[in-house]
Amino acid sequence: MKRPVMLAVIFVLTSSAILTWLLLGDKYGQPAPGAIIRVAADPQLDGGRYIGFQSRNHSSAAVYMRRVGEATGLRFEYVPTSSRQDSYDKLLANDVDVVPTLLDVEQPVDSTRVAFSEPYYRGKTLILSRINGRHYSSLSELDGKLLAVKRGGDYEQWLRIHRPDVRLLTLNDVADILGAVESGVADAALGTDAIYGPLVRRDFSHSLTRSGSADELPVAVRVAVRRADSGLLKKLDDGLKMLAPAHHQKILASWLELAYRPAPSLGAMAHFYWLEVSLAAFAGIALVFALHQLRRSQRLAKRGELEKARILAVMTHEIRNAANSLFSAIDVLARGPRLTEQAPALDAAVFSSASLSLLLNNALEYSRLDAGHFLISPTPCSVVDIARECLRVFGPEAAEKGLRCELILPEGPLPHLMADPVLLRQILMNLISNAIKFTSEGLVEVSLYLEELQEDQLLLHLLVKDSGIGLSQKSIGELFRPFSQAAGGRSQGGAGLGLSICHDIVTRLGGKIDVLSVPGRWSRFQVEIPAKLAIGPVARNEDLIDSSPLIVAPDTRVLVVEDHLYSSRMLKMQLEAMGCEVSVAMNGAQALDLFVQAGPFCTVLLDCNLPDTDGYVLCRQMREIEQRTSGSSSQIIAISALSGKEHETRCMSSGFNQVMTKPLSQLQLQSHLARFARSHVVQDLPDIFWDLYSKDRATMEQAVTTKDWRTAANMAHRICGSAAFVGENTIEATSLDLTIGLRSLNADCDVLPDHLRALIGALHDINR
């Protein structure tokens, strides 16, 4: 066994001897079970960490304490001290019972009051320095040098008295002391061979070495007790015999493993654990590859979502623009005079447009709710009128099935309420549509009444009851899930979104929806929504079922800014049917001219997508004009196929008063433009088309002459949409090809390609 190992063995046995002696009791006999033995641990011993004076599982003395403590029931308390002098002061003051000492130098205590044991271990004080630096064989060579030592220990105290020329760097931890020498902060370090030797060999073997020893500071491990307890010192040797040799061997092996086993090198690990290292490397490479693939998949998925969102946005915009024109035209025709033979066709058109509108609105509302975007716009409205309008829309389908549709007011007429008419209409449309769909005979009842909760708080009850096929308990449990349909629902059509939308809207409004049903007999949907009485005028009509057209005050002036040909014309018809004086602008420049020269307008219906600007900018310009002229403020309403929180936020920040999403219903216009009227305005749509076709074609040809390809493409696109609406297929196909070709031209193109010139010629030759 090498000499450092022998020193460690002796040192461990010495530590165990001290602790064993503590267990033997005082001079009067064994201590009582549970007694506390106090041991001083000064900084030179590093709190007892290296010789076991801290109760850590890996220290040798801690194991001795645990084993002997289990046998005797004793407990140990370690009292940290700031220096060797502090340890002796606490011993004499009876604050500690035992003081271990490390150096065999003069002790700072009166020997008449303290008794010392014979040394249990003698060793050397090492001078440690860098392998590649200067070596110091003795303390005399360290004058003027920076020496790292333990703060508050015996070395610091002795050196300050006997070697004042040596500069000291005092640190708390042994690893810090050795690290200071390794890094070049200190020139050398001073420490005991039993403590510092194993650490240098294990952790600093490539950087530090033992360059000499301090013969003036011999190491001698002793124990000091009060003179009154000196008779107990001889019991130390007996204490070493308390444990069996097997225990000593096991504890010693554990301590040597901790002190001497160096950390394995990478080469050694690769040699002995090549399989594990290979598997770990393979796993690491696989993990990096998997993370790379995951990031790539996320980027592709995000890109796909953005592309899908753009496609859906374009589709939604185009579908809603076309649907708005279609619904408006059907609404105008339905409210005008009709021939008897036209009635079934008009009824079918009204019902189909209402169903399509409901489907589009459900899809829009579902996407809004799914994205967390929900906007409530309460206005004074008549819930009775909304219910009558919904029943009127589904009247043709109910009549065809032989169903009676009734509106019941069990507690009499309802006052006008502050509510969102669009959301109420959507709730009632879905519930009534669902009731008619699943009822083959009998009736569908819609009941409305108010329940007074507090002075200004009301609860609106909407009940829709049918005599249809009913619902099972299982079907009721799944009824409000998106895309869920009850038994037989698929055969009746629908997307399975209506009731889910109703449930979400009612919940967002702070209400609830309940379902009662008897399979094969009836179903009842009951909606409860908080409500308040309306303040101010309310648009209403007592005879909506008779299709009386809407009117407003005769002097109501409305500006419609809409670039889509038939959307603008149909809006004009609807508004004129309500008694409004309507002006139409097809782009932003025309709108500003009309706003300044023909104003003021009571209301401006402004599309947010215009060929020369966007509605947000145009609205801000109109507000600036109002501020400069100190004129009255117009109500500016955004009408667009766009939707979503971002669009609504931009509208509000740009100065809009309200946001309406296409397709626009007569009820939406009613809620914003006042009351019903009796004007009947129906114009010949083909006449409108051919008048505008000639003008748009001339504008396009002029733009081609000036090489303004963008304007020419916009005109071709307008002609294409108008032709599609009235069924002029030849014009539609020709103008579509022309639109695509013109949009492909660069701004610096000087010559129009022959095939595009031929298309323009073909359009020029087409007349009514």
Per residue in 674-710, pLDDT (tens digit) is 433 333 333 444 565 677 777 888 888 888 888 888 8
- pLDDT tens sequence across 428-458: 888 888 888 888 888 888 898 888 877 677 8
Supply the mean pLDDT for the chain: 72
- pLDDT tens sequence across 278-289: 888 889 899 999
For residue 636, list its beta bridge partners: 604
For residue 78, list its beta bridge partners: 39
12: left (phi over 0), alpha (psi -120 to 50) or beta: alpha
Assess whether pLDDT exceeds 60 at residue 62.
no
**Confidence band of 165 (pLDDT split at 50, 70, 90):** very high
Nearest-angstrom CA–CA distance, 434 and 425:
14
Q: So where are the chain's domains?
A: 3-121+221-260, 125-216, 341-545, 548-673, 685-765
Mean pLDDT of 145-168: 87
Where are the strands (E) in 193-317, listed by range?
208-213, 219-226
| Range among 39-53, 177-191, 676-690 with highest mean pLDDT value | 177-191
What's the gap between Cα 617 and its chain centre? 32
Look-up: residue for tokens 């004499």?
A: 92
> The tokens of 186 are what?
């200190």
Where are the strands (E) in 15-87, listed by range?
36-41, 75-80
Output b/e per residue, 145-161; b: 16+ Cβ within 10 A. eebbbbbbbbbbbbbee
Range scoring the smallest mean pLDDT among 167-171, 478-482, 749-753 = 478-482
Q: For a pLDDT cut of 70, what percent of the chain falls above it?
A: 63
Q: How many CB atoms lie within 10 A of CB 666?
A: 21
Mean pLDDT of 325-336: 64
Give the residue, 116 or 585, on which the prediction is more confident.
Answer: 585
Mean pLDDT of 61-66: 55
| Confidence at residue 538, expressed as pLDDT on a 0 to 100 scale | 44
Nearest-angstrom CA–CA distance, 628 and 553:
28
**Confidence band of 136 (pLDDT split at 50, 70, 90):** very high
φ and ψ of 89, to 5 deg: -60, -40
| Confidence at residue 49, expressed as pLDDT on a 0 to 100 scale | 47
Query: How many contiguous H segments (helices) and E segments (strands) does the chain have?
Result: 26, 23
**Confidence band of 766 (pLDDT split at 50, 70, 90):** confident
184: left (phi over 0), alpha (psi -120 to 50) or beta: left
Assess whether pLDDT exceeds 70 at residue 131.
yes
Nearest-angstrom CA–CA distance, 423 and 199:
79
The answer regarding whether domain 341-545 maps to CATH 1.10.600.10 reads no
Nearest to 365 by CA among 376, 354, 355: 376
Task: Provide the sign of the torsion angle of the four alpha carbons 638, 640, 646, 650, taken in this order.
Answer: negative
Assess whether pLDDT exceeds 50 at residue 541.
no
Give the residue, 717 or 235, on which the prediction is more confident.
Answer: 717
What's the gap between Cα 380 and its chain centre? 37
Mean pLDDT of 495-508: 74
For residue 614, list its beta bridge partners: 609
| Range among 127-136, 190-199, 522-531, 671-680 with highest mean pLDDT value | 127-136
| Confidence at residue 169, expressed as pLDDT on a 0 to 100 scale | 92
Assess whether pLDDT exceeds 90 at residue 189.
yes
Nearest-angstrom CA–CA distance, 443 and 393:
16
What's the gap between Cα 126 and its chain centre? 61
For 39, residues 6+ apart whose C-beta sits below 8 A from its C-beta are 18, 22, 48, 53, 76, 77, 78, 79, 96, 97, 98, 100
Contact 398, 466 (CB under 8 A): no
| Confidence at residue 24, expressed as pLDDT on a 0 to 100 scale | 42
Nearest-angstrom CA–CA distance, 156 and 150:
7
Nearest to 102 by CA among 144, 64, 50: 50
**Alpha helix stretches (DSSP H) within 438-564:** 473-477, 489-492, 498-508
Nearest-angstrom CA–CA distance, 679 and 682:
10
Give the residue, 453 or 587, on which the prediction is more confident.
Answer: 587
| Confidence at residue 338, expressed as pLDDT on a 0 to 100 scale | 54
Q: For a pLDDT cut of 90, what percent of the chain falls above it?
A: 4
Which amino acid is present at 737? D
Nearest-angstrom CA–CA distance, 50 and 28:
32
| Confidence at residue 600, expressed as pLDDT on a 0 to 100 scale | 81
- pLDDT tens sequence across 352-371: 666 666 666 656 555 555 55
Mean pLDDT of 639-661: 77
> The tokens of 412 are what?
């009499």
φ and ψ of 533, to 5 deg: -70, 145
Assess whether pLDDT exceeds 90 at residue 130.
yes
Contact 27, 235 (CB under 8 A): no
Confidence (pTM): 0.38
Assess whether pLDDT exceeds 70 at residue 240.
no
CATH architecture of 548-673: 3-Layer(aba) Sandwich (3.40)
Assess whether pLDDT exceeds 50 at residue 241.
yes
Assess whether pLDDT exceeds 80 at residue 143.
yes
- Asked if domains 3-121+221-260 and 125-216 share a fold, the reply is yes
Kindly list the distances between the CA atom of residue 429 and the CA atoms of 426, 494, 661, in Å, as whole numbers in the listed order: 5, 13, 17
To which CATH superfamily is domain 3-121+221-260 assigned? Periplasmic binding protein-like II (3.40.190.10)
279: left (phi over 0), alpha (psi -120 to 50) or beta: alpha
426: left (phi over 0), alpha (psi -120 to 50) or beta: alpha
**Confidence band of 181 (pLDDT split at 50, 70, 90):** very high
- pLDDT tens sequence across 91-113: 888 888 777 777 767 666 677 78
Q: How many CB atoms lie within 10 A of CB 292?
A: 10
Range scoring the smallest mean pLDDT among 415-429, 511-525, 550-564, 697-711 = 550-564
Mean pLDDT of 315-320: 60
| Confidence at residue 494, expressed as pLDDT on a 0 to 100 scale | 45
Assess whether pLDDT exceeds 60 at residue 29.
no
CATH class of residue range 125-216: alpha beta
Mean pLDDT of 535-554: 41
First to last CA, the chain: 118
Cα angle for residues 18, 107, 77 (degrees, 5° grid): 35
Mean pLDDT of 569-575: 77
| Range among 58-67, 105-114, 137-146 with highest mean pLDDT value | 137-146
For residue 460, list its beta bridge partners: 450, 529
The secondary structure of residue 601, as a DSSP letter, is -
> The tokens of 98 are what?
């035992």
Range scoring the smallest mean pLDDT among 196-205, 209-218, 263-272, 680-689 = 680-689
